[in-house]
């Protein structure tokens, strides 16, 4: 048995535009989430969130604020993994979303406000992510 666990640094982006947050439905499991991914080697979490937003939405960002950090244990076919997740609040560059385009990691998207967040279609959104998104939508962002 390997004495070193499968350990990863991950990021997620709470993208805000006109008082709504981008939610995307994952192609691999059908769950709603926010753009997210793993940091690459020699990449800081902040660099990773900029890259992930670009890769998953084709958007550039000009405002980044760290909102939350959490650690958790997950499971995959090859065994347990451990993650530290950095959550960032981001705004599209110059507030412009004309270049927005989801990559093939997602099947659909929605810009959700506080009321839409309670819709049952988003029941698969992780409770911790839902709480963070709700807090963002309650603020003046």
> Is 67 among the domain residues?
yes
Q: What's the domain range around 89?
A: 6-132
> Is 138 among the domain residues?
no
Show Cβ contacts of residue 42 under 8 Å, excluding neighbours closer than 6 positions: none
> Is 122 among the domain residues?
yes
Please give the C-alpha separations between residue 26 and each of 6, 42, 56, 76, 106, in angstroms, as whole numbers. Answer: 23, 27, 11, 17, 4
pTM of the model: 0.90
> Is 31 among the domain residues?
yes
> Is 21 among the domain residues?
yes
- List per-residue pLDDT tens for the chain, 141 residues long: 566 678 899 999 999 999 999 999 999 999 999 999 999 999 999 999 999 999 999 999 988 999 999 998 888 777 788 999 999 999 999 888 999 999 999 999 999 999 999 999 999 999 999 999 999 999 855
**The pLDDT of residue 1:** 57
Per the structure, how many domains does the chain have? 1
Q: CATH code at 10?
A: 3.90.79.10
């Amino acid at each position: 048995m390997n004495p070193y666990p499968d350990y990863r640094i991950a990021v997620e982006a709470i993208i805000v535009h006109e008082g709504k947050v981008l939610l995307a439905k994952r192609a691999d499991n059908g769950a709603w989430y926010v753009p997210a991914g793993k940091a690459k080697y020699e990449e800081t979490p902040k660099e990773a969130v900029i890259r992930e937003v670009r890769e998953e939405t084709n958007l550039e960002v000009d405002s980044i604020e760290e909102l939350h950090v959490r650690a958790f244990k997950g499971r995959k076919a090859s065994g347990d993994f451990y993650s530290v997740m950095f959550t960032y609040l981001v705004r599209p560059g110059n507030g412009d979303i004309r270049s927005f385009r989801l990559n093939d990691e997602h099947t659909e998207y929605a810009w959700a406000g506080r009321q839409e967040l309670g819709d049952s279609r988003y029941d698969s959104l992780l409770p911790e992510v839902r709480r963070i998104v709700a807090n963002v939508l309650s603020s003046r962002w």
